[in-house]
Amino acid sequence: MNLIQATIITIGDELLIGQVIDTNSAFIAQALFKIGIPVNSRIAVGDNKKDIINALDTASQKSKIIILTGGLGPTADDITKPLLNEYFGGKMVVHQPSLDHITYIFETIHKRPMIERNRKQAEVPDVCEVLFNEKGTAPGMLFKKEGVYYFSLPGVPHEMRWLTENQVIPVIQKSFTTNFIAHKTLLTAGIGESFLAEHIAHFEKALPANIKLAYLPNIGMVRLRLTGSGQDEKVLAKEVNAQFEALKEAVKEYLVTDADETMEIVVANLLKQRKQTVSTAESCTGGYIGHLLSKNAGSSQFYTGGIISYDNRIKTEFLDVPTEILLTVGAVSKEAVEQMALAVRKKMNTDYAISVSGIMGPSGQTDEKPLGMVWVGVASKEKVVSKVFYLRFDRLRNIEVTANQAINLLRLLIINKI
Amino acid sequence: MNLIQATIITIGDELLIGQVIDTNSAFIAQALFKIGIPVNSRIAVGDNKKDIINALDTASQKSKIIILTGGLGPTADDITKPLLNEYFGGKMVVHQPSLDHITYIFETIHKRPMIERNRKQAEVPDVCEVLFNEKGTAPGMLFKKEGVYYFSLPGVPHEMRWLTENQVIPVIQKSFTTNFIAHKTLLTAGIGESFLAEHIAHFEKALPANIKLAYLPNIGMVRLRLTGSGQDEKVLAKEVNAQFEALKEAVKEYLVTDADETMEIVVANLLKQRKQTVSTAESCTGGYIGHLLSKNAGSSQFYTGGIISYDNRIKTEFLDVPTEILLTVGAVSKEAVEQMALAVRKKMNTDYAISVSGIMGPSGQTDEKPLGMVWVGVASKEKVVSKVFYLRFDRLRNIEVTANQAINLLRLLIINKI
């Protein structure tokens, strides 16, 4: 069977000098993967006619679906639209629904007069089908040539996302039949990648040829993904499910979740099911744990609030950490984090609390306390538990790993594993 | 002049199904840009022999420098090393310094026995130069063929970063002479991309051919970048500096900083220069402002701490927001954020305070208060100022934009612009 494949082309000089990180490709790849379209490659090129045309030519040799993002803005460095117009031999015409929408955005939302530059965004090549962009001023476009579908989307992430979900994916599903893909993901914590690989080597060796195992290590945890492909949807689902059950059994002592979700979502769900709440007392993570707990919808059901006790004075005044502890064992200590967790839980009247205090770098270490040393505490009505970690990343990653380890420690407390 | 160019190839199925976001390419592109090596394209391919070889063949046609990341781990889906061994016709040999280092990492740092899988990581093709990896277990490799340099690096971000800075860049600087590149970046706030473009159209039109202007819109702000290239370093620097001064003058009423730095760094520097401090009272951003203020080194000099008052009860109990305000105008109001800012500043005894309260979505709106409505407050010893914003993004982006607008409002207060 000849598989329909896709190529993603992202356009923009800023991608080639590394001034922005490309999150669009990952989003599009995920959306295509879910409907069984494999992406064979992703190509990033500059705002440069020759390179964009080269990328289009190369991509069309192996892909029936080509998705371009970027270069549709109102400024002079945005060359994608005139280039596609020329490439597909069209001429520019005004697309009235887009012009109405742009006018609406400026007059009703921005409450600013529209300028010629904005009006130009409603012009499209007459050889494309317009993909109406509800979220912004640059219309999406679909060109078809010799059986290949070329989708051009703006690079602004929330516009690109809306267009992908509401315009691109429905068109692809209507126009192409594909092989079925099934994937199942689980998350482990507490074991490194190579030990995990050793631990499940027997499982991996016994996998059938149409099912692949991937290791995705991240922030102190390892995600495992099974991906299967086949021509019969039901048979495939059964095969993948059976292997996934075997994998879950093989990693059961490290298993955090058998869904493709983050640690903070796992803990959020545990708390919501139990109708319980949590508060935070953060020193070295400076609010990042609060952010992780509150960044998903519905977090007000379980996250009450927190104290960011960045300065030691705040630890004493708001969390009753005795000056004596700070002067003897110091702020990065079992005693300090346990007191912080107990105090914030009591003061905010929550079921649980999380606390952290550590040395995130690049300086601040002492003879006894190395860079990357961090104490994490969790408290419930019944007990307080703390754990020390020695991290060896840069500051930002140390903050991320600490926050994830702290939330994992809360998970273990909630399910009575510590 | 024939410019030396580079191509970045990232390897991993996870990149093509969108399970991880590729931050490595941006880092490498930035490092190359700084030494005047233009990246002509970035290609992401799966853990698939044919596609990797295709990418190598294509890249070597136009680039003298090819940087690969990924596929060097200890598990079965990591195929880059044997593939390169075959591609360059080598045979595998043990690299003793790497083996010693891996042994050290396991015995001294992890305090766990080393397994065969780990030992294998010290094996390298005999046709490469090993790039010693101080930060991890997978050695970097350099292959040379027909004047093209192929660097292979692990995909783990902090290892890749260390190897790029300490091994790859020095080798490139020693081996190639390049055109000079100069770039200058500034950050604006308070004006949209298209209005800014209109505002500086005269400047853009008058730019010489060797200097380009790029617009990088992000979270309610627009970054402008001038990039020039030339063969005489001094002449180029002078040209770019002169244009940059003209650009600064043209955007002066919107200028946040004339350095390539974030809003939070600008505010951090203002506070450090003045030896002043700030505290935060966050509702809808749940700790994200605290995170932005504390994520960079040296933040303990100016960031004292904060209250995350996610639940309204915390606003009353910790920030003295009267129940009456909550019952009448509500938590998302001028009155609430001003009280929050005043209270946290006083209680934490800081020079300034930031407060926010809003409806981040996807639900929680009322007839009077739409989704995306957010009040931001800032206070000093002398005054309190607040401002309302109506955002129209998704939850996470609303949080990011709110945090940046709040930090910008503090900046305006510090420099007496509000």
Asked if residue B336 and residue B225 are part of one domain, the reply reads no
- B274 and B409 part of one domain: yes
**% of chain A beyond a pLDDT of 90:** 72
Mean pLDDT along residues B327-337: 97
Q: A147 and A188 in one domain?
A: no
**Residue tagged 């299967």 (tokens):** A228
Structure tokens given for A35: 């409907």
* Any domain includes B231: yes
pLDDT at A305: 98
How many domains does the structure of chain A reveal?
3
Set of chain B residues whose Cβ sits within 8 Å of the Cβ of A286: 287, 290-291, 293-295, 299, 303
Q: How far is B242 from chain A (nearest CA, A)?
A: 21
> In sequence order, what are the residues at sequence separation of 6 or more whose Cβ sits closer than 8 angstroms to the Cβ of residue A225?
A183, A184, A185, A213, A214, A216, B14, B19
Pair A378, A409: CB distance under 8 Å: yes
User: Comparing A16-25, A89-98, A162-171, which segment has the lowest mean pLDDT?
Assistant: A16-25
Average pLDDT, chain A: 92
- Domain containing A282: what range? 263-414
B293 close to B268: Cβ distance less than 8 angstroms: yes
Final residue of a structural domain among B175, B210, B226? B175
DSSP strand pairing (A39-45 vs A6-11): parallel
Nearest Cβ partner of B29 from A17, A32, A58? A17
CATH number of the domain to which B371 belongs: 3.90.950.20
Judge whether A307 is closer than 8 Å to chain B, CB to CB: yes
Chain A CB contacts of B293 under 8 Å are: 286
Chain A partners within 8 Å of B41 (Cβ): 16, 43-45, 51, 55
CB < 8 Å to A157, chain B: 397
Q: What is the pLDDT of residues B63-115, one digit of tens each?
A: 999 999 998 888 777 899 999 999 999 999 999 999 999 888 888 777 778 88
B269 and B392 share one domain? yes
Indicate if A321 and A287 belong to the same structural domain. Answer: yes
Please give the pLDDT value at position A276.
98
Q: What is the pLDDT of residue B193?
A: 83
B35 and B159 share a domain?
yes
Q: Do A295 and B392 touch (CB under 8 A)?
A: no
CB contact under 8 A, B75 and A193: yes
Task: List B67's β-bridge partners, or say none.
Answer: B8, B151
Residue A1 domain-assigned? no
**In chain A, positions 39-98, which contact chain B (CB-CB < 8 Å)?**
39-47, 51, 55, 58, 73-77
pLDDT tens digits, one per residue of A261-281: 999 999 999 999 999 999 999
Among B158, B204, B308, beta carbon nearest to A397: B158
Nearest to A314 among B42, B73, B305 (CB): B305
The number of beta carbons lying within 10 Å of the beta carbon of residue B56 is: 23
Tell me how far apart the alpha carbons of residues B399 and B393 are, in angstroms, rounded to a whole number. 9
The structure tokens listed for B340 are 């929050």
What single-letter amino acid sits at B286? G
Q: Mean pLDDT, to the nearest integer, of A28-37?
A: 87
pTM score > 0.95 for this model?
Answer: no
Nearest-CA distance from B85 to chain A in Å? 22
The distance of A58 to chain B (nearest Cα, Å) reads 10
Q: Please state, in angstroms and rounded to a whole number, the distance separating the CA atoms of residues B392 and B372.
A: 6
pLDDT more than 70, % of chain B: 100
pLDDT computed for residue A342 by the predictor: 98
Q: Do B43 and A45 touch (CB under 8 A)?
A: no
**Residue ranges of E strands in B178-283:** 180-189, 211-218, 221-230, 255-257, 278-282
Q: Is B301 part of any domain?
A: yes
Specify the pLDDT at position B2: 53
- CATH of residue A31's domain is 3.40.980.10
Per the CB < 8 A criterion, the answer to whether B210 and B217 are in contact is no
Of A40, A117, A216, the CB nearest to B197: A117
pLDDT digits (tens, 9 = 90+) for A136-162: 889 999 999 999 999 999 998 889 999
Residue A75 lies inside a defined structural domain of this protein: yes
Indicate the helix (H) or strand (E) that contains B398.
Answer: helix B395-414
Q: Where among B257, B275, B299 does a domain terminate?
A: B257
Query: Which token pair is A134?
Result: 């509800």
- What 3-state DSSP class applies to B68? strand
CATH number of domain containing A200: 3.30.70.2860
Q: With contacts defined as CB-CB under 8 Å, which chain A residues touch B306?
A: 287, 307-308, 310
Mean pLDDT calculated for residue range A369-390: 96
Closest CA to A376 of A364, A367, A366, A389: A389
Is B214 close to A308, i.e. CB distance below 8 A? no
Confidence category of residue A1, pLDDT binned at 50, 70, 90: very low
Q: Is residue B214 part of a domain?
A: yes
What does chain A come to in residues? 418
Q: Does B190 touch chain A (CB under 8 A)?
A: no
Give A305's contacts in chain B (Cβ within 8 Å): 307-311, 314, 318
Same domain, B299 and B165: no
Q: Final residue of a domain: which of A119, A153, A175? A: A175
Q: Confirm whether B86 is domain-assigned.
A: yes
- pLDDT at position B36 is 83
Q: Is B289 within 8 Å of A294 when comparing Cβ atoms?
A: no
pLDDT-based confidence at residue A411 (cuts at 50, 70, 90): very high
Residue B158 to residue A311, Cβ atoms within 8 A: no
Who among B29, B73, B213 is closest to A215 (CB)? B73
Same domain, A155 and A41: yes
What distance in Å separates residue A306's CA from the closest CA in chain B?
A: 5
Record: contact B18-A41, CB cut-off 8 A: no
pLDDT for the residue numbered A73: 81
Of B13, B42, B161, Cβ closest to residue A214: B13
Chain B residues 236-275 within an 8 A CB cutoff of chain A: none
- Dist. CA A353–CA A381, nearest whole Å: 9
Q: Is pLDDT above 50 for B1? A: no
Residues from chain A contacting residue B223 (CB–CB below 8 Å): 19
- H or E element, residue B141: strand B140-145
Mean pLDDT of A226-253: 94
Based on the fold, state whether residues A237 and A295 are members of the same structural domain: no
**B1 lies in some domain:** no
pLDDT digits (tens, 9 = 90+) for A152-204: 999 988 899 999 999 999 999 899 987 788 889 999 998 888 889 889 999 99
Same-domain status, A280 and A311: yes
Determine the pLDDT at residue A2. 53
Tell me what pLDDT residue B126 has.
96
In a domain, residue B148? The reply is: yes
Residue of higher predicted confidence among A21 and B301: B301
Chain A residue with CA closest to B181: the answer is A17
Cβ-Cβ contacts under 8 Å between A and B: the total is: 313
> What pLDDT does B344 receive?
98
Phi, psi for B375 (deg, rounded to 5): -100, 135
Same structural domain, B241 and B220: yes
Q: Which residue of A has its CA nearest to B390?
A: A109
Nearest in space to B218 (alpha carbons), one of B267, B240, B185, B250? B185
| Same structural domain, B48 and B131 | yes
Does the beta-carbon distance from A304 to B310 stay under 8 Å?
yes
- The CB-side HSE value for B231 (13 A sphere, CA atoms) comes to 3
